[in-house]
Amino acid sequence: MVQRAALLYQLIVTRRIHADDSHQPRQGFITGMMTQKEFARIIDAAGVSFPQSTTSFNGGDPVFPSPMCLASGMGAAMAMVGAGIDEIWAARSGRHQEINVDLNHAALFMSSMWLLKIDGEAATLLDHLDALPVEGLFKCKDGKWISISCVFPPLTNGTIEVLGCEPDHDSAAAAIAKWDSFELEQALTARDLSGVVIRSEEQWLSHPQGTATSNLPVVELEQIGDAPRSPLPEGIRPLTGLRVLDLTRVLAGPTVSRTLSEFGADILHIGAPHLADLISSQADTGHGKRRAHLNIDRQEDEQLLRELMRDTDVFSQSFRTGHLAQRGFSPQKVAAASPGVIYVSENCYGHEGPWIHKRGYDSNVRAASGVLLLHEQPGDTIDPERLHFAMHDYATGCWGAYGVLLALKKRAEVGGSWHVKVSLNQTARWFMRLGTPHDRSAAPTQARLWEMFNDYSEFSESSYGQLQRLKPVLQMSETAPCWHGPTLKPGESAPEWLDR
């Protein structure tokens, strides 16, 4: 029964993208706001069903110096979140509402962490990202380049051990120059490290991992257990009373729960003092959440996590595939302990294929998928003031939240426990399918981007200090998104649920 229902819903809601589907780049450059026809094309390329709700758009690409459909893609993903919320609201009230997405605002959302200010200073300064010894693009002896991301000390230490170099950029570059690119990629992968050779789109699609995931939709939904039907959330806001247990780090996974928090979900983020994370990403994705610490290496903390799990609606995690299963928190075991749960899995390269366990981040997927080569050539001089953006992280977070909304609706209709699967790689493939129709030289200047941030930002108190942050992007006539309470630092909350 479970497998049959899962297959049926896969056919209704998401589909594999057929190899002959026409998503080729259009000729010439286009600018301007997104039409409903263009919205339909973008949603079709994502492999999900077109929404019943109607969304209007203003603004448009290019916002960043990119030929890709970044603003329209990001805006479309957000519009699907809005449509999911609207369906929940309409089921309760009998009314659909007006939804609008400002595509300029949506594009800036991809730079949210880099735009965030704490007491007037860039939040990313707290992480000293420019001083990381092994981070970025490096040339190998065969002339190919490799992307390595070592934002956390264990990754830096492991990479330095593989290279046999000193912990500084010049020493690492000299050591990497002695390696064949693919041999280094294999050596780093074997040590659970992030290195990946820079590839074109064609090269990625011929790689076993690219082939295995090339036709997947941006979000997969699978039934993993039987359970009685559960009513949609009832409360003042669309997701009031929905409990989300968040075991994610960095950007994509935390963006799933942050998006749900905009509509009233009770988010309990679980971290641990010994698990490294970026201060800027924590501050950026912590809005609307309570944040507790548990160390599941301690028996009493593991037991408390299991108690929280039994009472949650959503269990969201971004550990490498199989890691939590070894601790007894696989999708199937969580569903058995908490019937009706929605289990969210977010990873880098996808949930099938030879790289299912491979570690990676936004920059690595950008390098592997061909996206990087559409924006720069390795060795190019990059403006140090250029505004960074993490298109895969933030869009994947939105698609994950959309998957939760799909599962909520399905849970109310037929019951069951559901598994939502998203990955940075599937999001990258979707962006690539949208083509490269835009003139990158028509993008606003860096100064104008910061002016736009001021237009779309708000000030908020937090445990970090005063934040200047992007406002929620979606505009909805009856259920306007917002975050309640100050943004907290990790460990400031008790590991317990609020009363429903």
Are 87 and 137 in the same domain? no
Q: Has residue 490 been placed in a domain?
A: no
Structural domain including 279 reads: 2-18+30-128+202-476
Are 385 and 471 in the same domain? yes
CB 225 within 8 A of CB 410: no
Are 368 and 294 in the same domain? yes
Q: Has residue 400 been placed in a domain?
A: yes
Query: How much is the pLDDT for 32?
Result: 53
Query: How much is the pLDDT for 266?
Result: 98
Are 222 and 155 in the same domain? no
H helix runs in 98-251, sequence order? 103-109, 112-115, 153-163, 169-176, 181-190, 201-206, 208-213
Q: Report which DSSP code applies to 319.
A: S
CB 234 within 8 A of CB 9: no
What CATH number is attached to the domain comprising 442? 3.40.50.10540
Q: Report if pTM > 0.85.
A: yes
Are 171 and 218 in the same domain? no
Are 241 and 381 in the same domain? yes
CA distances to 74, 126, 177, 330, 403 from 393, rounded to whole Å, are 11, 20, 30, 23, 15
Are 112 and 134 in the same domain? no
pLDDT tens for residues 214-264?
A: 999 999 999 999 999 999 998 899 999 999 999 999 999 999 999 999 999
Are 366 and 408 in the same domain? yes
Q: Has residue 179 been placed in a domain?
A: yes
Are 56 and 162 in the same domain? no
Closest CA to 112 of 316, 258, 290, 272: 258
| CA–CA gap between residue 399 and residue 380 (Å, rounded) | 32
Mean pLDDT of the region 5-10? 38
| CA–CA gap between residue 196 and residue 212 (Å, rounded) | 17
> In the listed set 170, 201, 232, which residue is the last one of a domain according to the structure?
201
Please list, in sequence order, all residues whose beta carbon lies within 8 angstroms of the beta carbon of residue 131, skipping any fewer than 6 positions away: none
Number of domains in the chain: 2
Q: Has residue 497 been placed in a domain?
A: no
Are 118 and 144 in the same domain? no
pLDDT tens for residues 110-164?
A: 999 999 999 999 999 999 888 888 999 999 999 999 999 998 999 999 999 999 9
> In the listed set 174, 201, 228, which residue is the last one of a domain according to the structure?
201
| CA–CA gap between residue 334 and residue 315 (Å, rounded) | 8
pLDDT tens for residues 415-450?
A: 999 999 999 999 999 999 999 999 999 999 999 999
Closest CA to 116 of 490, 397, 465: 465
Residue type, 187: A
Are 425 and 464 in the same domain? yes
Q: Has residue 485 been placed in a domain?
A: no
Q: Has residue 286 been placed in a domain?
A: yes
| CA–CA gap between residue 33 and residue 61 (Å, rounded) | 8
Q: Has residue 498 been placed in a domain?
A: no
SS3 294: coil
H/E stretch holding 325 reads none
Closest CA to 230 of 308, 312, 330: 312
* Burial group, residue 333, by CB count within 10 angstroms (0-12, 13-18, 19+): middle
Query: How much is the pLDDT for 386?
Result: 85
Are 304 and 418 in the same domain? yes
CB 25 within 8 A of CB 436: yes
What CATH number is attached to the domain comprising 175? 3.30.1540.10
